[in-house]
Amino acid sequence: MAKRLDLQKNVLSSNDQAAAQLRREFATRRLLVLNLMSSPGSGKTTLLEHTARVLAGEFKMAVIEGDLQTDRDADRVRRAGLPAVQINTGGGCHLDVPMVRRALDGLALDGLDILFIENVGNLVCPAAFDLGEDAVVLLASVAEGDDKPGKYPTAFHRADVVLLTKTDFLPVTEFQVNLFLADVAKLKAELPVLPLSCRTGDGLDAWFAWLRRAVAAKKN
Ligand SMILES: Nc1nc2c(ncn2[C@@H]2O[C@H](COP(=O)(O)OP(=O)(O)OP(=O)(O)O)[C@@H](O)[C@H]2O)c(=O)[nH]1
Ligand SMILES: [Mg+2]
């Protein structure tokens, strides 16, 4: 058991060192890098499709897609107009720095403003792996229930912004926004929560404003 724990610690600390190096390289390019995390199906790819279509004239963006299998998400964001590289982890439940580095070989980084990394749908493992990102964007959908912050605290601790997605489902669920917000605040008082729906478009402007501020901060 002790050996297994040591190995896990080594894997994490070597990933952390590699992530720090990657972060320095992204900083030199003044490239904003966002690590999108959520449980499967919370709406990560849908959000990227909407973001691609609305902000195409404003920012140069690219996407790294992480999934166990298939190129479906990369195909979707390409159809929305963004260059994308798909990583298939096989059975792996998260992305790590070596995977991101291999994917970067397939992308033109010059002049890029934003790189989105859509992590494997999972609220547990991705939270342990730094990818050299500037910010973790954590999506939690109304359909999953309002109890997730308390049950998956590590992911919420890692987050720099929480997107409460699929708010169009609120009338047909028991989801209590106040309970969710109180749970988030208990974990990390200053963590912003942006409720939104890609179905209706409600709340998307606040997400775009958050992105614009983040790009501007990175360029300064
Ligand atoms: N009603 C509603 N459905 C949504 C919304 N956003 C996404 N969906 C639907 O939710 C499903 C999953 O969306 P995806 O964007 O594929 O979710 P994901 O997080 O990328 O999923 P994985 O990559 O498998 O983890 C799709 O059927 C979307 O159409 C929304 O705001 N409202
Ligand atoms: Mg997806």
Instruction: Give CA–CA dist 87/103, Å, rounded.
Output: 7
For 197-207, the pLDDT digits (tens) are 999 999 999 99
Indicate the number of domains in the chain.
Answer: 1
Contact 68, 89 (CB under 8 A): yes
Place of tokens 């990227």: 48
Task: Look at residue 149 in the predicted model and tell me its pLDDT.
Answer: 97
What CATH number corresponds to the domain at position 15? Answer: 3.40.50.300
The pLDDT of residue 68 is above 70:
yes
38, 42, 45, 46: residue to mutate for ligand 1 pocket, most atoms within 8 A of CB: 46
- Amino acid letter at 66? G
Q: Which ligand is nearest to the CA of 46?
A: 1
Rounded distance from Cα 3 to ligand 1 centre (Å)? 40
CA distance 71 to 68: 10
Residue span of the structural domain in which 131 resides: 2-219
| Cα 194 to ligand 1 centroid, rounded to whole Å | 17
pLDDT tens readout for residues 34-49: 999 999 999 999 999 9
Does residue 2 have a pLDDT over 80? Answer: no
Name all residues whose Cβ lies below 6 A of ligand 1: 38, 40-46, 73, 121, 165-166, 168-169, 197-199
pLDDT above 70 (res 1):
no
Q: Which ligand places an atom closest to the C-alpha of 40?
A: 1
Query: How high does pLDDT run on average in the chain?
Result: 96
Percent of the chain clearing pLDDT 70 (strictly above): 98
Q: Which ligand sits nearest to residue 198's alpha carbon?
A: 1
pLDDT tens for 99-139 read 999 999 999 999 999 999 999 999 999 999 999 999 999 99
